[in-house]
Structure 1
Amino acid sequence: MLRYDNWCSGKEEKLSFPSTDDEMGTYFEPRYRVRTLKIGMDDQFEISYPSASNDPKVELVVNSTQTSNFRVTNRTSCNGGSCTTTVKTIPDTNFCTMNGGTSENFNIKLSVEGIKEEAVMKFHVPCACSCSEKVEDRSPVCNGRGSLSCGVCTCDQGWQGTYCEKPICEDKRGDVPCTNSARNNIECSGNGVCGPCDKCECFTDREGSQYFDKNNYCEDICMTVNDCDDCFLDPRPGRCQTCHFGLFRQSYNQSLISQKDDLNRNVWIKCNGTINDCNYEYAAMRDENDETFFMVIKSCDPTQERQAGAVNVTLPIVLGVIALVVAAAATAGYIFWKNRAPPVPLSDPMYQNIDAEDCTGENPLYKPPTSSFKNPTYGKW
């Protein structure tokens, strides 16, 4: 190949070509052949052999160390007990691939019915110079976005240019990239940076970064839940019916706050929000089904704060206090009963068992409610 510039003048590298070699066989002439073919260049050769038939059955088996981008055709003619098969080959321009070697080849095996011999043809195709074997992966020359071989950059997916300096951008966000103007003008919600294709590239090393939404300005899970603030007004656990996505409220459980995933990241992320001048502190997480859960930790509304947690924690305490009171009362009753005064014996003169019907005397202990006296004026009116 001729060059019309001074690139690497005097340092061009020539492709190596093996010499053509033929070997005759008992029936086939030749039985073995080695040839060199250049990309896009066709080659035609003949193989002769004896045959009693004027239309012998000829079979070709072709394989390659590279791709199958080559063409092989054959045509057979016979005359006077001898036949000749003409084989035509051509490697296409896309025969060689980037991950191939400097020397590739494809082979053809020819067989004829009735002949116990095969003819083998090997075609050597030079694909690159030897310098292409010295590939520098993610080369600085290619801005770390491609491999350098023979002074040429092969760019990674998504990049183009001589030095892989131009991104391939299929779509853009618009005139104000990487900023959600409906919320604020902070780039990528403060959770990422604007990439070369006007798309947000979210951080991966921050608290809750596993929930950053790269398709929505790196919105974090707190921003997502705050969009459905009406769901905080209903203290009952379950799915929030007014939210446009799957959002579930669950009972507060302090042990879940320290839960970790397989990458040692906090599963529950603490968030803050304000509804009707009421400040909320809550925790949120998203499961593998892309459903979001939250539980309120603190709130200015006492009916909201740790709603189910109060049942789970307070009820055992109340039952425990009741049990202690009952136990104390039982103990005091037992001590009072044990220390009571002994009963009066029956022989004691202070104690008599008198039947009611036999009682005719006066009770010396009885005192009437009023005193009797003589009224001197009685009968004078």
Structure 2
Amino acid sequence: MKALLDEYYRYDLHNVGFIERKQFIDEESTLIYGITQSGKTALIKNYLLSHKKSTYLYIDCRDLRLDINELNDSMELFCKENKISILALDNYNEAIKLFEIDQIILSSESRLELPYRQIHLALLDYEEFLAFESKYDSTALNHFFQLGGFPAMHRIPSEERVLYLQSVLQRGLEPIEFSILAQASKMVTQKVSAFNLYERLKSERKISKDKLYLHLQSMFERGYLKSLSKYNHPNAVKKLYLCDIAIKHALVVQKHFGRLFENLVFSELDKHQIECYYDEGIDFYLPQRGQIIIASPFANEHALFKKVEALEGFIVSNRVREVIAVTMNLESILSHPISRIEMIPFERWALGDD
């Protein structure tokens, strides 16, 4: 094992073209968690490369040559002998024993109960996405629809992106989880229960309810799937969303632009940790802001006004201050007696101060 540790210690790390993210590693021991290809490795390498090479040891725990027992027996002594002060374990395996050292940096898909700083690294929001664009012009939003929030997609030729993402997801998920994700991609923005998914999947493959529920819960916990509760009805069926619309592009031939757009709006709210719910006729209700948000890419004033009329009871009883229709490019303020109504293009809404 010492020979393998020596090999890792001698490695020259490369992190070509790294672009800063909103999250960053400081001098604390840190766990970075997030789904596959969210940028965890790049963040770790960027931090390590700001230090003297002899002070850190970087190990990718997916390396099949690693024997966990031998690693546990030798790693602490190796670090002491080489005066290593920073230990970085990428794709951390919980069977690996941790020990006292100046700084430990771990990455994982899941949040772990460790006394370290915890960083949840989500996929790119729209503001971060723009930093990855070679130029910022009127095509940026359409590009965001095509690529989604996976940082690596900017480096993949357009004709290879679908197969690339399929391969990434197949490597990162168990077969049943990949099937769940493919089925969920057909049902985004709909009210979907675990039983609904089970009914769809059992016709495709042999699976027990218990096994499906277990894997489904894991996918929610790791962030591949997202759900939205109904306001004041926590036991009602939740709406289902993907962590990124690029997954739907990669796994489903049929596209439904309205649903993709709603998922995109949801993702921005989710990445900024904004409390929201759905209700009948309401895509997103933000109680702390007194807002209703409607994902309506091609809204017109007349249709929006009629929609708001149907929601007047909810608006009055919940003291909603404003209704915002997020659109592709339409912009307008409507006069309404009980609430402010505004149509805001997605780009301006996503980059707004709020």
* Higher share of residues assigned strand: 1
Coarse TM-score class (shorter-chain normalised): under 0.3
Q: TM (normalized to structure 2)?
A: 0.20
Larger-gyration structure (1/2): 1
Q: Which has the higher contact order (CA 8 A, sep 6+)?
A: 2
